[in-house]
Amino acid sequence: MGKEFRGTIADHPDFDAGSDAEALYDAMKGFGSDKEAILDLITSRSNAERQDIRAAYKSQFGKDLIDDLKYELTGKFERLIVVLMRPPAYHDAKEIKDAIKGAGTDEKCLIEILASRTNEQIHNLVAAYKDAYGRDLEEDVIGDTSGHFKKMLVVLLQGTREEDDVVSEDLVEQDAQDLYDAGEAQWGTDEAKFIMLLGNRSVIHLQLVFDEYQKIAEKSIEDSIKSELSGDFERLMLAVVQCIRSKPMFFAKRLYKSMKGLGTADNTLIRIMVSRSEIDMLDIRECFRLRYEKSLYNMIQDDTSGDYKRTLLKLCGGDDDMAGEFFPEAAQIAYKMWEISAMTKIQLRGTVRPYQNFDPASDAQGLRKAMKGFGTDEDTIIDIVAHRSNAQRQEIRQTFKSLLGRDLMADLKSELSKNLQRLILGLMMTPAEFEAKMMKKAMEGAGTDEHALIEILVTRSNQEIQEMCSGLGTDDRALIRIMVSRAEIDLFNIRKEFKETHDTSLHEFIQGDTSGDYRKTLLILCGGED
């Protein structure tokens, strides 16, 4: 029983290479070419069929189809159609050749291809590279990379990962312990152990090892890799781990990154859309929709144009947002809840901890002094409030009332203004008061801010921070909401996730996007630069 087909491009039912070759020849004949006919035909044939069309084209017209397409088409559309016409292994070979030639190396491309291909795909790639360039791929990679990064790439190039039916029960615990001993348990890291285990064990075996590792280390293997390794080697090992956990999710993240932000990384977009169209595009679409609450189809539609867009949408194969019932709000919330329960295994870490030499009376006096007389000493207020835990802040409020007979919240409100006032008052409230206020805010005014409501009812997520950054200006309410409510819970984790998604740290984002005392307070809460 073969695996269920999860691609979007399959063999064409009444395939006839000769008549397809003729149709393409006609579409390119004369003045201007019929681009729509070309893209329709090529995207409704499988890669194996496209190779037959190339052969038929050569024997009927004595010309190379790829050369003709290159001559007739231009820009990204041409690049995409030409990639579709190449055998997958030859396209991988070309991408790797381009990634290592010239001055700098495109490590991200190398990592993506070598971390995600099966043994068979790796062997075909090595053979195609030799055939196309007359060179040895391993030698070229060795000549262009260094250190542990190079060693792991060489291991992956062997294509010797054990097949999935190889799971050695007795080895699962041993491997997990070995990984722990090689990293978290000692000073310095034994990289060779990581390379050997992550490069050779079967996917299913490693999934079990990662679960076992979580129990031993009380943190995920990803978190350990982030703290133990660095640079390209860290990025490569994370990619390998992500591919072992879920290739479709790995590609969904790569696709999102290729389109988010300024400009589109078209090479990555083309490479993934083409290489996965006959393998797991349906799964990638599902992961994309779950993770980003937007369909891949929609994202491509917003981010590309013309025939290039039309071809990518054909490869995508459908819009998951169209079917209203495909993903109702309730399912989103259920997914969020599932994600949280899956995340709880990860050790949650906040950035604000209880202050060691805490004295509520002297803090209350300090705050009163900072607000008395002419002008307010914001620095002292920030220093006290941002460096105490929420429980300590409640004690300060109590003491302020019993010592000075005044309401600290009212005093702060009259002394501070704008975002700094919102942020400091948010920090001084109990979590329940703060949530209640935010829910009231979300329901006030014109229409309900469902995003805020869902987020408060279920969880805060990195998603919200992404949305704040992508718009014009900063959504300060959302930023304050997250920084206040997550500072003692998992802001450290959110920071790490933010860095991974945005290639910039939360610290840098706050630094560039806010100012004054408001910025100063946010940076203290953020807790580090990553």
Same domain flag for 473 and 415: yes
> From the CB of residue 105, how many other CB atoms can be counted at a distance below 10 Å?
15
Contact 226, 238 (CB under 8 A): yes
Same domain flag for 191 and 150: no
Q: What's residue 140's pLDDT?
A: 95
Question: Would you give the DSSP letter of residue 9?
Answer: -
Domain contains 232:
yes
Same domain flag for 487 and 467: yes
Domain contains 502:
yes
Same domain flag for 503 and 444: yes
Of 129, 158, 187, the last residue of a domain is: 158
Same domain flag for 470 and 496: yes
Of 112, 135, 158, the last residue of a domain is: 158
Domain contains 335:
no
Model pTM score: 0.65
Domain contains 122:
yes
> From the CB of residue 346, how many other CB atoms can be counted at a distance below 10 Å?
16
Q: Residue 463: give the domain boundaries.
A: 405-526
Q: Report residue 275 CA to chain centroid gap.
A: 19
Phi, psi of 263 (to 5 degrees): 70, 160
Same domain flag for 173 and 154: no
Of 245, 279, 304, the last residue of a domain is: 245
Cα torsion 302, 303, 304, 309 to 10°: value is -60
Contact 103, 138 (CB under 8 A): no
Domain contains 394:
no
Q: What's residue 327's pLDDT?
A: 46
Same domain flag for 110 and 174: no
Domain contains 498:
yes
Domain contains 110:
yes
Residue 76: which of 360, 295, 312 has the closest Cα?
Answer: 312
Tally the domains of the chain.
3
Which residue, chain included where needed, has tokens 């803090």? 363
Residue 386: which of 527, 182, 210, 207 has the closest Cα?
Answer: 527
We report the CATH number of the domain holding residue 504 as 1.10.220.10
Rounded-to-integer distance, Cα 256 and Cα 248, Å: 12
Same domain flag for 423 and 519: yes
- CB burial of residue 221 (10 Å; 0-12, 13-18, 19+): buried
Rounded-to-integer distance, Cα 501 and Cα 463, Å: 10
Same domain flag for 429 and 503: yes
Same domain flag for 96 and 121: yes
Distance set, CA 486 to CA 348, 351, 404, 422 (Å): 10, 9, 31, 16
Handedness of CA 418, 528, 213, 203 (dihedral sign): positive
Same domain flag for 108 and 152: yes
Domain contains 14:
no
Per-residue pLDDT tens listing for the chain (530 residues): 356 788 999 999 999 999 999 999 999 987 677 999 999 999 999 999 999 999 999 999 999 999 999 999 999 999 999 999 999 999 999 999 999 986 667 899 999 999 999 999 999 999 999 999 999 999 999 999 999 999 999 999 999 999 887 777 789 999 999 999 988 877 667 889 999 999 999 999 999 999 999 999 988 999 999 988 889 999 999 999 999 999 999 999 999 999 986 678 899 999 999 999 999 999 899 889 888 878 999 999 989 999 999 999 999 998 877 544 444 444 455 555 555 555 555 566 778 888 999 999 999 999 999 998 777 889 999 999 999 999 999 999 999 999 999 999 999 998 998 888 989 998 998 887 877 777 666 566 545 555 554 444 444 445 555 555 544 455 677 778 778 877 887 778 777 777 776 667 888 888 887 888 888 888 888 887 77
Same domain flag for 154 and 210: no
